[in-house]
Structure formats: C-alpha cells, structure tokens
Chain A
Amino acid sequence: MNDLEQRLTEALTEGSQGAPSAIGLASAARSRARRKRQTRLAGVAALVVLAVGVPAAVVALTGDGDVRGADVASTDSAGATMDGFHWESWHDVTVQVPDSWQYGSLSDWCAGGGELAPRIQRPDTVADDIQCDPQSSYGITFQEIPNRDDFEWPVVAQTGKGWPDPNVVGGRGIGGVLITVATREPDLAHQILDSMRPIGPQGDPNGCAARYTPGSTNPPEGALSVCRYDENGELEQSAALFGKQAGDAVRTLQAAPEAGECADTSQGSQPHQIVILEAPGISAKVDLVSGCPRLTVDGDVRELNEAVAGVAVLAAWGGSRQGMALPPELRTE
C-alpha cells in the first residue's frame, strides 16, 4: 500500500467515527419493517420527476395526473401471450415483454459500440461502468420498493439527457415490485404495463413459483421450465423452452458426466442462487455456489460444465452471460 492509500485508509477510519449512535437501531429497524405496508411511495418526488412536462391534455385524461389504482388479476387468469411477446418474471410479478428485447443494463447500452436496443434489466444485472449519452436506453427495469400498494404512473414523454429521443416512460407497482418501461411508442408501453400481474399459487406462465420450494415448479404443457432463484429463494428469472431448444437442453442435462469432488466446499452452506429445470420425465437443479457449482439431475450429482451451462441454463435467456450474476467459474471477462 503506497503513502496515499495508507493516508486514505487512516482518513476514512478517522472519519467513520462521526457515524451516528447505534442506540435504538434494532427497534428502529423493527418499526420500519412494520411500516413497509403503510409507507407512502418513498420517492413521491420521483413521481414528480416523471410528471414533469406532462401535457395538459394528458393530465386531464388521467385525472390531474394522480396515480390510479391498478386493477390486477393474478397469473391464474393470465390470458393469452401476445404474438411476439414472452413472460418475464421477478419476485412476485410477471409481465409480457417483446421477444426482441435483450438482457442487460439500460445504462451501459453504448458499451462496445452498442445501439439503443431495448433491454431487460433486473436488480442483479451486471453493468459496465460507462457513461452513455443518453444515460438510459429503452427497456424495462424491475425494482423492489417499500410501497406494497398497487399503483400506476402515467406514460409520458421525458425530457433531458436521461432518456433517448423520442421516448415515453411509465411505471407500475404491484405488491412492492415496481417496473419502469421506456419505449418509443405509447401503445407498446401500455401493452407491457397492462400485462403486469402478480404471480398466483400456480406459478408464472413459464411454470415457476414466486418462491422456491421443492416440487413447486409447474411446467406448461410441452415445455421445459427454467427458473432462477436468488439466495433468499425468491424468483429472479424464468423461461419456458419448447421444441428443439427444450430437447437439446434435456439431452445435454442427461448426458452431463458424473461430478468429482470440489476442492473447496466451504461455501456450500451459504445461501446461493439456484436454477431449476423441470419437464415431465426430468428434474434438474443447479446450485450456483462460488467455488463449487453443482448440477443434480434426477438425484444424481453431475458436472456443471460449459456445455451444460450454455445449452441448458443460459439458453433460457438467449445463451448470453451478458448481465447474468454468475459465480466466477461461469463468468467470462
């Protein structure tokens, strides 16, 4: 460590002594946890930001720009999937998204000379540290928010450097999950927002439960369900593979070689991501444990090699590692 780094360490350590007292911290956290259901949308100011520039006619149509309560039905009555769309899920909600939308961060769209192609961004999406202009591409983001009431933000054009031109941006919250959609056309934004609904007891349209429990996957007919859960067992991502893609994935899983022992099993007991792949006749689970990722196929422990990762796991999401939160063994730089 050089002189600057040493002084920086000392400065930060010394400065940290100005931190507030921890007295009452636990009870304050309990109070906040209790208030989460009643807390107003934190960022009512964010609503003000979205409402800037709302034309008078739009304000009149939506009742002075007030948020309107969302009339939601669960996925138990999801209805048909629109042509050219598929279902994307996160935690307790699912929404239809155009098939052409890629996975990745909206903020690093310009990395590697990229274009303003719409993207699907989740909280764990890996993003390059790069300043793009405009700052955000089109697409959809998922976020957890304190307000668990159902609400909608109006779909309005945004000005400034934050968003591409032309644009409309809207949002919708259900049960503590906020999705924000930015598109070129209002109709598309409304189609996406209107399709959003909570995941019911039968799971999302891809067959994945909102929270993982063994046996909770319910694949649609003829499909291989692929469900990714975070370390808390909450649904991060889901997909349903059909036809040749499903057949290739099943054959790859069944052909995966037996696994040897890992050199480092110390992280196995830590909470970690898992991926469930299930169809009639096959049930597989991937434990994404750093240092010792594991594949289990119908109870047999197999090797999670590149072929399995690429064909069976990542195929569910376009075959790309872009934006995926993976343990080091499955990442590429």
Chain B
Amino acid sequence: MASSPDGDGPDFDGWVAVRGPALLRLAYTLTGNTADAEDVVQEALARALPRWSRISRVDNPDAYVRRMVVNAHTSWWRRFRRRESPVPEIRDSQVGDAPRGGGLAGLDQHSVLWAACQVLPEPQRTAIVLRYYEQLEYGEIADLTGVREGSVRSRVSRGLATLRTQLAETGDDHE
C-alpha cells in the first residue's frame, strides 16, 4: 500500500482499495440494503478524507474508520430521515424459490436469520452485528457505540431472543 504524501501511513485511495470491501460488507450487514450501505460508507470516508493525514498515522486506522462507519449508521440524522420501512433485500440465492407459507417460511436457516436480523430494532441489530459478524467483545462494542457494557449485553440478549423465536416459528430452532 502506498504511503500518504507526508510519508507516514497509507495513502487514502490505496487504503480504500484494500479496506473498502470489508467496510461495505459491514455496512451492508448493518443496513440490509446496498444503497444505504454505500451511503453510510461514503459518508464515513468523506469525513475521514480531510483528516486522513492524522487517521493514517494511528495504530489502527481500520478500527478508527470502522467506528466512523458505525457512527454514520446510527447517527440521529439517519434515524430521523424519512424513509420507507426497511425490507430485507432478497439475496440472489432465493430468486425463484417458492415460499411455502409466506413470510419467512420456505427460506433456508441462514436466510431466516439474515432477514430476521434486518428487522431487529436498530440498537439490537447494531450490537448483534458487531458481536457476531465483527466478533467484537462486549467492552469493545460499548466503547465503539458509546453505550454502557450492560446495555450492550442487554441488546444482544434481546436480539438473540427475538431471532430464536423467529427460528422456532419457522420450525428451524434446533438448539
């Protein structure tokens, strides 16, 4: 990866070329749709760009920008933006499948969990994604989101309970 013009740290375009896909995957997992994922990551990177000389020199620019992506997703501004209720995007593998009973019935287990996760309340969804997709510890999630660790654990617990119920309703709960 090329260095930034001042000689320290990676340059912005090179860093985005390498890390951008992972940021988009995180944003897509948080938002459930491609347009919002692009919006969130572009917003975070647009904010990072003027500060890149400083960000590129921190020990972990990846974690720094990841925090900006999560914050861009959860910002008040996005919550109050008028939008239609989020509908989980149908992934390509499901095209052509004939659902047996409507709703989540007929989807494979992973699709059930993905769809159910996307309709969790935003605080629970964010905590679940950071815990089980990013594999962060509760303390790390608390630091990243600015919420007490107890609240993070509570959000994860409630989110899992909802997901467990969804699986049970589709007959896929084998726990």
Complex Cα spacing A325 to B146, Å: 7
CB–CB B91/A18 < 8 A? yes
Complex Cα spacing A46 to B83, Å: 10
Residues of A222-243 contacting chain B, CB below 8 A: 232
Complex Cα spacing A159 to B17, Å: 47
CB–CB A43/B81 < 8 A? yes
Contact of A46 among B12, B81, B92, B167 (CB under 8 A): B81
Chain A CB within 8 A of B27 CB: yes
| Cβ contacts A to B, 14 pairs, < 8 Å | A12-B117, A14-B110, A14-B114, A15-B114, A17-B25, A18-B28, A25-B24, A25-B42, A26-B16, A29-B16, A45-B81, A49-B80, A123-B76, A270-B59
Contacts of B12 in A (CB 8 A): 26
CB–CB B163/A8 < 8 A? yes
Chain B residue with Cβ nearest A13: B133
Beyond A25-B42, A290-B143, is A12–B91 a contact (Cβ under 8 Å)?
no
Contact of B45 among A8, A19, A25, A123 (CB under 8 A): A25
Contact of B81 among A29, A42, A328 (CB under 8 A): A42
Chain A CB within 8 A of B99 CB: no
State which size class the interface on A falls in: 35 or more
Beyond A26-B45, A129-B151, is A11–B113 a contact (Cβ under 8 Å)?
yes
Chain B CB within 8 A of A2 CB: yes
**Distance of B131 from chain A, by nearest CB (Å):** 9
CB–CB B16/A7 < 8 A? no
The size of the chain B interface, using a CB distance under 8 A, is: 69
Beyond A17-B25, A29-B45, is A232–B17 a contact (Cβ under 8 Å)?
no
Complex Cα spacing A133 to B116, Å: 26
Contacts of B75 in A (CB 8 A): 123, 143
Complex Cα spacing A19 to B91, Å: 10
CB–CB B114/A12 < 8 A? yes
CB–CB B16/A46 < 8 A? no
CB–CB A4/B160 < 8 A? yes
- 17 further A-B pairs in the complex, CB-CB below 8 A; given A14-B110, A19-B29, A25-B16: A3-B174, A8-B160, A8-B163, A19-B24, A20-B24, A20-B37, A22-B17, A22-B23, A25-B20, A26-B12, A29-B48, A32-B46, A33-B47, A33-B50, A45-B82, A124-B146, A129-B154
Chain A CB within 8 A of B3 CB: no
Complex Cα spacing A145 to B75, Å: 10
Beyond A19-B28, A20-B28, A22-B17, is A29–B59 a contact (Cβ under 8 Å)?
no
Residues of B within 8 A of A (CB): 12-13, 16-17, 20-21, 23-29, 34, 37-38, 41-43, 45-51, 54, 58-60, 64, 75-77, 80-82, 89, 91-92, 109-111, 113-114, 117, 123, 128-129, 132-133, 135, 139, 143, 146-151, 154-155, 160, 163-164, 167, 173-175
**Distance of A32 from chain B, by nearest CB (Å):** 4
CB–CB B82/A49 < 8 A? yes
Complex Cα spacing A295 to B149, Å: 26
Complex Cα spacing A43 to B146, Å: 24
CB–CB B54/A12 < 8 A? no
Beyond A16-B25, A20-B24, A129-B155, is A4–B82 a contact (Cβ under 8 Å)?
no
Chain A residue with Cβ nearest B11: A26
Chain A residue with Cβ nearest B35: A20
Complex Cα spacing A18 to B24, Å: 10
Listed residue (A8, A124, A127) with the most chain B CB atoms within 10 angstroms of its CB: A8
CB–CB B109/A7 < 8 A? yes
**Distance of A278 from chain B, by nearest CB (Å):** 24
Contacts of A28 in B (CB 8 A): 38, 42
Beyond A7-B113, A10-B110, A25-B16, is A141–B76 a contact (Cβ under 8 Å)?
yes
Complex Cα spacing A5 to B146, Å: 24
CB–CB A4/B164 < 8 A? yes
Chain A residue with Cβ nearest B17: A26
**Distance of A31 from chain B, by nearest CB (Å):** 8
Complex Cα spacing A331 to B38, Å: 35
CB–CB B76/A143 < 8 A? yes
Residues of A59-107 contacting chain B, CB below 8 A: none
